[in-house]
Amino acid sequence: MLDVAALAGVGLKTVSRVVNAESGVSPTLEAKVRRAIEQLNYRRDANASMLRRLGGRTQTIGLVLEDVSNPFSSALHRAIEDSARARHVLVFAGSCDEDPHRERELIGSFRDRRVDGIIVVPASRDHTFLYQEQRAGTALVFVDRPAAHLDADGVASDNVGGSVAAVEHLLAHGHRRIAFLGDLPSIWTADERLRGYTQAIERAGIEPDGALIRTGLRDSETAGRAVHELLALPDPPTALFTSQNLLTIGGIRALRSAGLQRRIALIGFDDIGLGDIVEPAISVVAQDPQAIGRAAAEFLFRRMDGDTSESVHHVVPVRLIARGSGEIKPTERSS
């Protein structure tokens, strides 16, 4: 900047004014400065600029995802990026793999860089450590799961409603013995989806059967094993509700290997890529990660703009997509 000022033969402040498009610079000088900037390939240092500016915004936000490479996270990321770009805000993204320690570490790094706001898909069960942060003026939005012990905006899918819809869809096709496959109940979304399942079952006047409820499934392999065990029951289920991505895939593989993919109904929570190419095509309750990301970014920017109203919990609707696997009718009990 000194070099630019020297080359243009003006003061530092004049260069600053040109760079910031402030009024009150004569066209002659402005042209000179612009030429010098061009010639020296000068770019203002945004960090230094923000340092000096009053209440300096870094025009930067942090994003804590479960894993930047999983489809749900990355769709979120993209939606948030698009909103941020419109405001000339850059996004730091990081994966925490459901590890609370890593979550804190990431948020710490963001804080060191003085991000203006943070969007978190929370991994830990206690976010009081963010209280200081929040009071210091960092905007905060929680996605997919609510904040624990902290008052902050949240955006999540309609987990209960979606599960109810899925189960009611199976009930409507005549199923009575519907199995539930879920992740660890300590994960909020997994628990919500189980709630929805139970609600729908009970509302239909069916006595819930504990043998049909399998939780704590962490990947497609364990889900597959669980399906095989369910099928071996004396009174096996006629339909499966796989309440998460990987479990759906495990379920499909298991049914396929048992040759039952056309006899046992299946609905998954969360869409899977290519769900329409498989035979039979997979019916799912699809989340809308774009809408979730958009909403999260919107809340974040609203807070960054100084909104101090009460915190909001926004629920994004889900959509049941019937593609075939969920519309299979129950068959006579085998042997």
Partner DNA sequence: TGCGGGGAAGATAACGTTGTCAAGGAGGGA
Partner DNA sequence: TCCCTCCTTGACAACGTTATCTTCCCCGCA
Q: Burial code of 47-59, b = ≥16 C-beta within 10 A, e = fewer?
A: eeebeeeeeeebe
β pairing state of 283-286 and 117-120: unpaired
Comparing CB distances to a copy of itself, the nearer of 134 and 311 is 134
Comparing CB distances to a copy of itself, the nearer of 16 and 58 is 58
Give which of DNA, a copy of itself, none residue 95 binds (C-beta under 5 to 8 Å, depending on kind): a copy of itself
Q: Of these, 22, 38, 45, 219, which contacts a copy of itself (CB under 8 A)?
A: 45
Q: Of these, 28, 274, 305, 310, which contacts a copy of itself (CB under 8 A)?
A: 274
Q: Of these, 58, 198, 199, 311, which contacts a copy of itself (CB under 8 A)?
A: 58
Cβ–Cβ < 8 Å for 249, 278: no
Q: Which range in 47-55, 76-84, 157-165, 281-289 contacts DNA by CB under 7 A?
A: 47-55
Comparing CB distances to DNA, the nearer of 54 and 274 is 54
Distance CA 85, CA 289 (A): 18
Give which of DNA, a copy of itself, none residue 91 binds (C-beta under 5 to 8 Å, depending on kind): a copy of itself
Q: Of these, 9, 108, 174, 208, which contacts DNA (CB under 7 A)?
A: 9
Instruction: State the CB neighbour count (10 A cutoff) for residue 253.
Output: 16
Q: How far is the CB of 16 from DNA (least distance, A)?
A: 3
Give which of a copy of itself, DNA, none residue 113 binds (C-beta under 5 to 8 Å, depending on kind): a copy of itself
Contact flag: residue 37 with DNA (CB under 7 A): no
Contact flag: residue 290 with DNA (CB under 7 A): no
Question: Identity (one letter) of the amino acid at 232?
Answer: A
Cβ–Cβ < 8 Å for 172, 203: no
Comparing CB distances to DNA, the nearer of 42 and 92 is 42
Comparing CB distances to DNA, the nearer of 36 and 265 is 36
Distance CA 10, CA 19 (A): 13
Contact flag: residue 25 with DNA (CB under 7 A): yes
Comparing CB distances to DNA, the nearer of 23 and 334 is 23
Contact flag: residue 243 with a copy of itself (CB under 8 A): no
Q: How far is the CB of 56 from DNA (least distance, A)?
A: 8
Q: Which residues of the shown chain bind DNA in the complex (CB under 7 A)?
A: 1-2, 9-14, 16-17, 19-20, 23-26, 28-29, 43-45, 48-49, 51-54
Q: Which residues of the shown chain bind a copy of itself in the complex (CB under 8 A)?
A: 41, 43-48, 50-51, 58, 60, 67-71, 73-75, 77-78, 81, 85, 88, 90-95, 108-114, 132, 249, 252-253, 256, 272-274, 277-279
